[in-house]
Amino acid sequence: METTLVLLKPSCVQRQLIGEIVNRFERRGLQVAGMKMMQLDDNILREHYAHLVDRPFFPALAQSMKASPVVAMALRGVEAVAVVRGMTGYTNGRKADPGTIRGDYAMSNQQNIVHASDSPENAKIELERFFRPEEIFEYNHALLSFLYATDER
Ligand code: IDP
Ligand code: MG
């Protein structure tokens, strides 16, 4: 099992899409292992978007990520990182495939509804960035035997 980090960005929270997006992840069969609302600041954003801090659009990106609280989620499942990235779709909502979250809800390269970790290594780092250990739960997933074959779990 893998656990991955998702952020429901201010573009999701302000458009009142929290429930719809959480519903998509749950219906796919991902287990919610942690979830909380938080207000991001420049410190955490400079860390989280370290690969983008030198880009000209970074100040606008940081501003957009501070525009309201976000919802941080830890989602668990077999190959959860790749599954959730697949559900997220291409960064630019205008180019994202229909059926992906960005392809169904976003028209923007920046205001693109969700963040999702892009590798298991980054998922571990990002989960530690946004959650304390006791905020991520290990609990029985009652439907597990109907979500996966025995040799997949
Ligand atoms: P990702 O979210 O699909 O992993 P990254 O390249 O890691 O994409 O970029 C992180 C976030 O920065 C994007 O989700 C988007 O909100 C924003 N971003 C990326 N490229 C641009 C750009 O060219 N203009 C404005 N915002 C951008
Ligand atoms: Mg990224």
Residue 126 lies in a domain: yes
> 122-149, pLDDT tens digit by residue?
999 999 999 999 999 999 999 999 999 9
Q: What is the DSSP string of 53-113?
A: TTSTTHHHHHHHHTSS-EEEEEEEETTHHHHHHHHH--SSTTTSPBTBHHHHH---SS--S
Q: If you average pLDDT over every residue of the chain, what do you get? A: 98
Q: Does residue 36 fall inside a structural domain?
A: yes
3-class DSSP assignment, residue 46:
helix
**146 is a domain residue:** no
Quick: pLDDT tens for 22-54. Answer: 999 999 999 999 999 999 999 999 999 999 999
Ligand 1 contacts (CB < 6 A) are 52, 57, 61, 91, 109-110, 112, 115, 118
- 90 inside domain: yes
Cα–Cα dist 8/114, whole Å: 5
Q: 115 an active-site residue?
A: yes
109-128 pLDDT, tens per residue?
Answer: 999 999 999 999 999 999 99
- Range(s) of the domain holding residue 74: 2-138
Question: What residue owns the CA closest to ligand 1's atom 26?
Answer: 110
The neighbour count for residue 2, using CB atoms within 10 Å, is: 17
Q: Is 150 part of a structural domain of the chain?
A: no
In a domain, 37, yes or no: yes
In a domain, 149, yes or no: no
- Rounded to two decimals, the pTM is 0.98
The answer to whether 62 and 45 have CB atoms below 8 angstroms apart is yes
The total of structural domains in the chain comes to 1
Distance 117 CA to ligand 1 centre (A): 12
